[in-house]
Each structure stands twice: as structure tokens, then as C-alpha cells.
Amino acid sequence: MRKILAATIAASVGLLIGAGTIPVAATAKATTAKTPGYTPPAIDWGTCTRPSLQSRGAQCGFLIVPLDYRKPSGAKIKIAVSRIKHKSSDADYQGVMLTNPGGPGGSGLGLPVLGEYVPNGAGGLYDWIGFDPRGVGSSVPALTCDPDYAGYNRPFYVPVTRQLEKTWLAKAKQYAKACDAAGGALLDHLKTTDTVADMESLRKALGVSKINYYGFSYGTYLGQVYATLHPERVRRFVFDGVVNPERVWYAANLDQDIQFDKNMDVYFGWIAKNDATYHLGTSAKAVKQKYYATLYSLIRNPAAGKIGPDEWNDVFVSAGYYVFGWQEVAEAFAAWVNEKDPAPLLNLYAEPGAPGSDNGYAVYLGVQCTDVQWPQNWSKWKRDNWAIYAKHPFITWNNAWYNAPCLNWGAKAGKPVEVNGKKAPPILLISETNDAATPYSGALEVRKRFPRSVLIEGVGGTTHSGSLSGIACTDDTIAAYLATGELPDRVRGNRSDKRCDPVPQPDPAAATAFSARTAADARTELREAIGVR
């Protein structure tokens, strides 16, 4: 998965997937992944520095946990934690709600504001808990390897020459080397199981016997592993944008490549439908041809000397993730093609090199490269990616190079936990039919593994992790579940249990309100509150 995109927070270009540190047996059965007991000290709650949390009266602090849970008395690290307390009476209080925005590598410190977006006051029944997973954001230490790695006008993603292939292999190897040097002992303890152990420490520090949980994207995998290892600690769990535990992680990225390409055809069709606004072509085929013609032209003549074919591709990836931001990307497309104005493109491709700017990417790799062993033979990567590229070129080589540091990662890979939800209570799954970051087949697989789960399908939609955007069918179901535990009936067969409208495509000619606010406005508000731009 390419980057970190929470449903409500996604702000970049790809999807991530993750790792951990507590060793799991060869077959990684849940019963063998238990760790020695560790009791954390109480969290010293204080004021938060982030304005969006301050304005809501949130509390912040640090959870102290072992770097290595096999050595609970050894070196310690600090997990940054935030809390917005319940608004309800104590009689109606439903407990703590841990959250995770995805990634791996996503900062969740601002995510407790999510409670405000649950309809009918159901969010106010909980204490909403955010945290930056180990290595991320405000947690100590935070991993950063090479802030200049992304850069402007990079070598062409598609290795059409042997020299391009060698260049990207060398870049990926150097980034892995930089992470090895920067990460130290932390690099060996970034697996999904490590963060699950931190969640269990957080439960203890909060003094509760069970947790509630709302996870997006990679956060759904984190929740799956927690529910497998600690089913007795599970109360109400919501998974939005469901990761397929059968495909971690190399195969999952190949799956993404196919669906992203299909979603871009939908997007190009939407641009064509709105040709009166964008003037880029009246058919999806014409718009698609213009997209690729422009990409190739940027090889020799990058926009503003900065936006080459790779940066151009990166700008468009978000349109394959979800409908939020479709207009901004189309406006940048039109501005460059029709007026040779690069300013909107530059606004969408952030200037690289800020201190710590690669933190999310570094932790993404730290998790993904060590959760499970990636193929170590480059010829397999090369063969698989060229085969997919032949039919689905949009993101294939972009995604391959994004993950290529796993070829030379410094930390030893483990074995993923065998996800098994047979002992878990009823949980709620949410997915749109054409989710590219976490393809719909993953939601069906998790529904099988959690026999008391219920799946909501946003029928025909292309948005990843789009819950709490104002779609009443979906959001009211979430609210009812969080308020009372009520879920729709589970139906027979390998299919969704409740079918809802997807997050709607935007109308550039008129802001169409389908709720109290539009999905785009709601998502913008939430992203600003969380601190994502």
C-alpha cells in the first residue's frame, strides 16, 4: 500500500501496511504470540500543543512502554497519546475508543476529534483516544531517514532502460541504508505486533478491561491482530477500508496496482463528463490519452523545472484513492495542459526536504518490511510488476519503487499473525466496492474470519475509508452500533450484509449537499482538525 490514508485523513499518495517486534512462531498462531506481562506507569495527562486539540479541551501525555516486550525491564520508549473525554452522563458512558488512521506510519494524535462526526451524539458516549504509534510523529524516538528522498523531477518511475532500473535500485538501497543508520534498535521493533502490544499497554494504563476501536486502512489490520491476540479485550470495533490479512504485504501492493488503474478510468470519465469546466476531452479515453501524453512530455520538460512524470503521477494518485479532492486535481490538470500554469501542481506536490517530512514513509517501511519477508530476488519483482504494468500501468512502477527499500531493509523480518476472529464479539466492517487501497476482497476475507462481523458496502464507490462523510445509511449504522451494539442482520453467502450509497462524486458546477454538509467539506474540516494539509 502506498501511503497513509485514513478514511478521514488521507492526505497523500498511497497506502501503507505494517510490522512489529514481538516474534511470532513459524506459523504465527495467536497462542504463540503472547508476551511477558508489562504494567505501564500511569499517563501524566496535561495540555496539548495542537490547537485543534486545545480548543476541544483535550488532554495529552506519554505512555511509557518497552522497546522490546521480550525485555520488559529493558530500554523504554514513549508513545504520544491524546484524549477527548466523553460528553455523556456517567450512566451512559460507553468506555474508551482507541483510534488509528492507517499507514502504517500515520499520526493518530489528532484523531480523537473523530467523535464529533458520529451522528446522533453517539460519539459523545466515549473517551476518544489518539496515539502516534511507535516511531511516529510526537512519539519518542521518531524515525526519519532522508527528508530529501522524494525530491523534485526524479528519475522516471518506469524503468524503460537498464540505467533507470539501476538508478532506482540504488536509490532504494541507499534509503534502506539511511534508515538502518537512523533507526538503531528501534528498527527491530516496528512490527504490527509491537504496536498491538502498545495498545494493550495503553488499555492497562487507561484502567479498563476492554477497549473500543475505530481503525482506518492499515488500522484495520492492526485491529484484526489485536482482536486475534486479545479477543477477551474487544468490545466494539469498527474497521473502515479493510486490509486483507491473506495478502500482507507484497501481494497486497500488486492488488492495489490493478484497482487503482481501474479507478483512474472512472476518474477520467468524470473529468470528461465535466468537460465544460475542465476542457480536457469529452470521453474517458480522450482524457486518459491526454494524461499519459502530458506525463511523457514532462520527461524532457518538467513543469516549472520541478514537476516531472513521477511528480505528475503522484499528484493524481489521490484521485484513485477517493473522490475527495477530485476537483483540485482536475483543476491542476487543466491549468497545466490548457494554460501551462504549474502553480496548482506545485500546490499539490509539497516541496520536499522539511525536517522529519519522511517520518510517515520511514515508519511505513519499518512496519511493512519487517511484518513479513518480502521477496529478496529482484527478478521476481521485475517480472510481476512488468506483467501488471502491461494492462494496468497507472501506479504499478510508482508503487514498486515506493516499496523497493524492503529489498535491503536492515531489520529482520518476522512472521505475520494468523488472523482469526472466531472468539471476537460482533464488529462492523465498511468498504466501498472499488476501494483501490484496500480492495473489497479483503473485506470479504475478514468477514469470513470474523464470523460475527457485519459488512457495509458502499456500492460502486471508489473511495477508501470514507465513513463519517455524511452518508446516512452508513453513518447512522455506525452510530447505532456505537450507541447500543446493534448491527444489521448478517446474511448468508460471501457478500456484504448491508448495501449503502457510496460517497458521491463531486459536482464542480454546484456544491451538492447530501447531508448537513458535503462530504468534501466534512473531510476538509476533519483533516484540518487532525493537522493534515
Active site residues per annotation:
217, 435, 464
Question: How far from 29 is each of 194, 229, 383, 419, CA to CA, in Å?
Answer: 16, 9, 32, 8
C-beta separation of 9 from 100 below 8 A: no
Taking a C-beta distance cutoff of 8 angstroms, is the pair 478, 468 a contact?
A: yes
Is the omega angle on the peptide bond into residue 249 within 30 degrees of 0, that is, cis? Answer: yes
Write the DSSP assignment of 219-242 as a string of letters: HHHHHHHHHHH-GGGEEEEEEES-
Per the CB < 8 A criterion, the answer to whether 88 and 125 are in contact is: yes
Kindly provide the b/e burial profile for residues 517-533, where b requires at least 16 CB atoms within 10 angstroms of the residue's own CB.
bbbbebbeebbebbbbe
Give the containing element (helix H, strand E) for 2.
none
CA distance 219 to 6: 8
Write out the DSSP string of 104-159: TT---TTGGGGGGGSGGGGGGGEEEEEE--TBSTTSBSB----TTSS-SSPSPSS-
CA distance 494 to 491: 9
Cα–Cα distance for residue pair 503/153, rounded to 1 Å: 34
